[in-house]
Structure 1
Amino acid sequence: MKQVKPTNSKLIQKDRSRRVLAIVGDTQVGLWVVRSLARNGLEVHAITNTIHGQSAHSCYSTSSWLLDNNPSLPGFADEIIGLAQKLDVGSIMPVSEGFHNGLITLRDCLDAADIHLFSPSRECFDKATDKDYVHQLCLDLNIPVAKGMCLDELMEQGPESTLQYPLVLRTRKQNAGLGKVPVKAAYARNLDELLNWHKQFESFADNVLVQEYHPGAEEHVQILMHDGEMFMTGDYIGEHHMPLAGGVTVQRISCHHQDVIDDTVKLLKALNWQGIAGVQFHYDTDTGKYIFLEINPRFSGGLPTVVMAGFEAPFNLWQSHFEPERMRRTNYRLGLRTRILGGDANWFLGQLRRDELPPGQSHLGKIKAAMTILWNCGPWTKDDSFMLADPKPFFVDFKQMLKKLGARGHEIVN
């Protein structure tokens, strides 16, 4: 392992339970995990992917580290447990799904070392990341969900009339060690396009979920479940994505739709969920109708929006184990807009290039696209990284943004 940020002795806490090893990667999501924990009096040691990780440059991180091993390598267990003991932390808080999956396997070892892991149980994790299982669970609970089936099953039944086009194709099990759809979502507007996708995905067609596409904006619900009940939620609508056809939400606005929240709670209660989750829907703002998409057993990509709007999800998650009696709900600000500056710049370029869009959507005109991105340079739109008290991560991110300007991200495969 390599230490990339010297330990700031001013941030050291005497109480071991207030020391957290946060595996946060390089993005804004991880940065706001660190900020949320540290601003509430915790000592946070960050693990990033590279020296350019935003948390490594935050004044809120006590130290920052790079690992030699990832969760798929045999040396990971010894390295992560060794670092946790070296720093004498009371808990580990991962962000990415891959680290959750790897650390859940080590839970017994971590418990033996008196280190709490902020990850769901193995049973809950595996169920939540199995889209086929959750799809059936939604049907059983009368939660609106798109009609669909596995790609191999669809091809056996006959794709000509089984489902209505357009269709969306997604990976069914992300962590099963099987082949994956190389994008967040692939679309088939007709039979020829579906057959083309089948040729590319035939070797792992049993791990591809095909569903009827429903229009609407992506709505994400960040939720904390505690003792079998919902503690607090923060939801937001994704306004801009990169790639345009479906990817990271690079601009968002906080919102609240009670029906969506109610179904989120119903679903997680059925899973006996404990801790944090990000639940995604498609929400039609014109009709108020929505369908369930997926559960992410982690902090959602829009965590900066959620925290800035008032839901201190990472700190509340820590409290749920170490000081549940002090947990307090806060007001959640609606209509707060935040964005990833570099991602939004690439969204604008994607509009100019006329990159592929989801079915039924149309590109903005060049002038309207330019006016949209310029309008959101005003103070009414917050930046995902910039904070006056902690400015360095923004400038680190800005340098990386310039290198990636014009990138198309995870393009739809031709």
Structure 2
Amino acid sequence: MIQQPYVIVLANGLNGLGAVRSAAHAGLRTYTLLTSETDLSAYSRYSQYRFMLPPAPGIDDIRPVLDQLYRNEGGPGVLLACSDHAAELLGKLKSEGYSHHYLIVPSAETTELLNDKKLECRSMEEGGITLPRTYYELEHVVPEEFPLIIKPRTFREYSVLGAKNVIVNSISELNEFRQRFQGKLDRFIAQQVIEGNDENLWVCNVTFDKNKNLAACFIFNRLGTMPSHYGVTSLAISRENHVLRQECEKIGKAINYSGPAMIEFKKDEGSGRYYYIETNPRLGMCNWFDTLCGVNNILACSNVAYDKPALIEQQKNNRVYWNFFGDLIARLEDRERLVSIVGRYLRLIRYRRVAALLYWRDPHPALRYSYTAIVDIASRVAQRVRKYRRN
């Protein structure tokens, strides 16, 4: 009897919800591993088979669940990571030679390299990838130009910084940062901010096969982020870009990569050059967008694992990804004028849209998220009204 393919999603937020929906869209049976009962995937009708893990699970937490699934199914499934922590876990399992499930993921060394900005950027420079000017030692460096974006080296340093990144606009601001984080500066790197607004940001959600070749590639152009300018995607449009497709192929070979990844670039407004920003060694946050534009990276991972032919499909362009509440909140926080926001949204109505959360066959996650977002927006609008009245 031929074993039916199935996937095991280590879910986290929008990434996990998209993966669960994409697996269902491809007709794949899905097991969902969660670290929170309020995770978006917990509310999805497609997460019928769920397992709860501790908030920051280790190998010993995940292994019994995986072994049980292997026995129940009589064969291996495909493990999919939706967070940096989950990607590290799968990398460690691969290094240990774990064989009960398919691990179409990079090695632990590659994952650790990509989860450390200092090691990642140096490796990309050695591989001939074009990066913004990067500063690895912050203690005494005198940058040639500002602004700079300061990034934690790993996701563990987010709590040290209190944010995913910080922008400094002058040497005095840099010196203030040095003083504030004295003794901890080796936990950060700094990069030149490439000229251009959110519409110069590009993302490639890809899957590399066991031979490090592209099995799937979906490309979109960001139109908005949350928080604005330096956050995750809140508004985007699908667009083919052959230059970036070639760059992704080069990156896969340079770092000996297999499995799903999210690769980010920024186009310099002045020169028109594309600069590498980062690679996340896991499924991209917008993987549901990929699927509804014809490129299902979850199915691609399954096909690679089960040695099925790659189904490289032409992506559907000029479709808009829209996290309405997230994008609106980000623009309000950035003090964009309401007239400008409304005008922007009206111009997008002519395109076919893919909602980040709302899906009529699976409405519960969107309802939960929307309630929280509406309360947040109402609070911000009330604050603006009170401030306006005082002035």
TM-score range, shorter chain: 0.7 to 0.9
Aligned to 2:87: 100
Is the Cα–Cα contact under 8 Å of residues 325 and 374 in structure 2 kept in the other structure? yes
Where in structure 1 are there 5+ consecutive unaligned residues?
Answer: 1-13, 355-363, 409-414
Rounded Cα–Cα distance in structure 1 between residues aligned with 2:228 and 2:379: 12
Query: Measured at CA, do residues 286 and 335 of structure 1 come closer, stay the same or move farther in structure 2, by a change above 3 Å?
Result: farther
Map 1:172-191 onto structure 2 (within 5 A).
172-174=153-155, 180-191=160-171
Rounded Cα–Cα distance in structure 1 between residues aligned with 2:36 and 2:83: 15
- CA deviations on 1:238-296 (whole Å, 9 max, x unpaired) are 21111124112111111222222212211220111111111111124675322111111
The secondary structure found in structure 1 opposite 2:12 is coil
**Aligned mate of 1:387, from 346, 359, 362:** 359
Rounded Cα–Cα distance in structure 1 between residues aligned with 2:45 and 2:56: 26
**Aligned mate of 1:302, from 280, 286, 304:** 286
Query: Measured at CA, do residues 232 and 18 of structure 1 come closer, stay the same or move farther in structure 2, by a change above 3 Å?
Result: closer
- CA deviations on 1:162-193 (whole Å, 9 max, x unpaired) are 43111111122346x89753322211110111
TM superposition shift of 1:86: 6.9
The reply on whether 1:163 has 2:144 as its aligned counterpart is yes
TM superposition shift of 1:125: 0.9
- CA deviations on 1:322-371 (whole Å, 9 max, x unpaired) are 1323x2111101221111122022123224xx3xxxxxxxxx43311233
- CA deviations on 1:290-318 (whole Å, 9 max, x unpaired) are 21111110112222322221110011111
**Aligned mate of 2:43, from 57, 61, 65:** 57
Rounded Cα–Cα distance in structure 2 between residues aligned with 1:296 and 1:96: 9
The reply on whether 1:221 has 2:208 as its aligned counterpart is no
Residue type of the alignment partner of 1:297: P
The reply on whether 1:37 has 2:35 as its aligned counterpart is no
Query: Measured at CA, do residues 180 and 308 of structure 1 come closer, stay the same or move farther in structure 2, by a change above 3 Å?
Result: farther
Is the Cα–Cα contact under 8 Å of residues 178 and 207 in structure 1 kept in the other structure? no
**Aligned mate of 1:396, from 368, 376, 389:** 368
The reply on whether 1:333 has 2:316 as its aligned counterpart is yes
- CA deviations on 1:93-129 (whole Å, 9 max, x unpaired) are 22111012123323467835x2223432112112222
TM superposition shift of 1:49: 3.9
Map 1:85-234 onto structure 2 (within 5 A).
85=70, 88=73, 90-107=77-94, 111-112=98-99, 114-150=100-136, 153-157=137-141, 159=142, 162-174=143-155, 180-216=160-196, 217-226=200-209, 227-234=211-218
Is the Cα–Cα contact under 8 Å of residues 147 and 163 in structure 1 kept in the other structure? no
Where in structure 2 are there 5+ consecutive unaligned residues?
Answer: 381-391
**Aligned mate of 2:242, from 258, 266, 274:** 258
TM superposition shift of 1:79: 4.9
TM superposition shift of 1:82: 5.5
TM superposition shift of 1:207: 2.0
Rounded Cα–Cα distance in structure 1 between residues aligned with 2:262 and 2:185: 26
Aligned to 2:387: none
Is the Cα–Cα contact under 8 Å of residues 253 and 338 in structure 1 kept in the other structure? yes
The reply on whether 1:346 has 2:329 as its aligned counterpart is yes
Aligned to 1:367: 339
- TM-score normalized with structure 2 length: 0.85
TM superposition shift of 1:204: 2.1
Query: Measured at CA, do residues 385 and 377 of structure 1 come closer, stay the same or move farther in structure 2, by a change above 3 Å?
Result: farther
Residue type of the alignment partner of 2:150: L
Q: Identity percentage over the alignment?
A: 19
**Aligned mate of 1:271, from 255, 258, 266:** 255
The reply on whether 1:47 has 2:33 as its aligned counterpart is yes
Query: Measured at CA, do residues 117 and 232 of structure 1 come closer, stay the same or move farther in structure 2, by a change above 3 Å?
Result: closer
Residue type of the alignment partner of 1:84: L
Is the Cα–Cα contact under 8 Å of residues 220 and 236 in structure 1 kept in the other structure? yes
Aligned to 1:9: none
Is the Cα–Cα contact under 8 Å of residues 218 and 280 in structure 1 kept in the other structure? yes
Residue type of the alignment partner of 2:123: L
Rounded Cα–Cα distance in structure 1 between residues aligned with 2:301 and 2:285: 17
Rounded Cα–Cα distance in structure 2 between residues aligned with 1:90 and 1:300: 20
Query: Measured at CA, do residues 193 and 228 of structure 1 come closer, stay the same or move farther in structure 2, by a change above 3 Å?
Result: same
Residue type of the alignment partner of 2:93: L
Rounded Cα–Cα distance in structure 2 between residues aligned with 1:26 and 1:133: 27
Query: Measured at CA, do residues 172 and 44 of structure 1 come closer, stay the same or move farther in structure 2, by a change above 3 Å?
Result: same
TM superposition shift of 1:133: 2.8
Query: Measured at CA, do residues 286 and 62 of structure 1 come closer, stay the same or move farther in structure 2, by a change above 3 Å?
Result: farther
Rounded Cα–Cα distance in structure 2 between residues aligned with 1:372 and 1:63: 40
- TM-score normalized with structure 1 length: 0.81
The secondary structure found in structure 2 opposite 1:252 is strand
Q: RMSD in angstroms over aligned alpha carbons?
A: 2.8
Rounded Cα–Cα distance in structure 2 between residues aligned with 1:266 and 1:43: 33
TM superposition shift of 1:233: 1.0
- How many residue pairs match? The answer is 374
Rounded Cα–Cα distance in structure 1 between residues aligned with 2:116 and 2:38: 33
- Range with bigger deviation, 14-23 or 294-303: 14-23
The secondary structure found in structure 1 opposite 2:184 is helix
TM superposition shift of 1:139: 2.8
Residue type of the alignment partner of 1:90: G
Aligned to 2:265: 281
Is the Cα–Cα contact under 8 Å of residues 216 and 312 in structure 2 kept in the other structure? yes
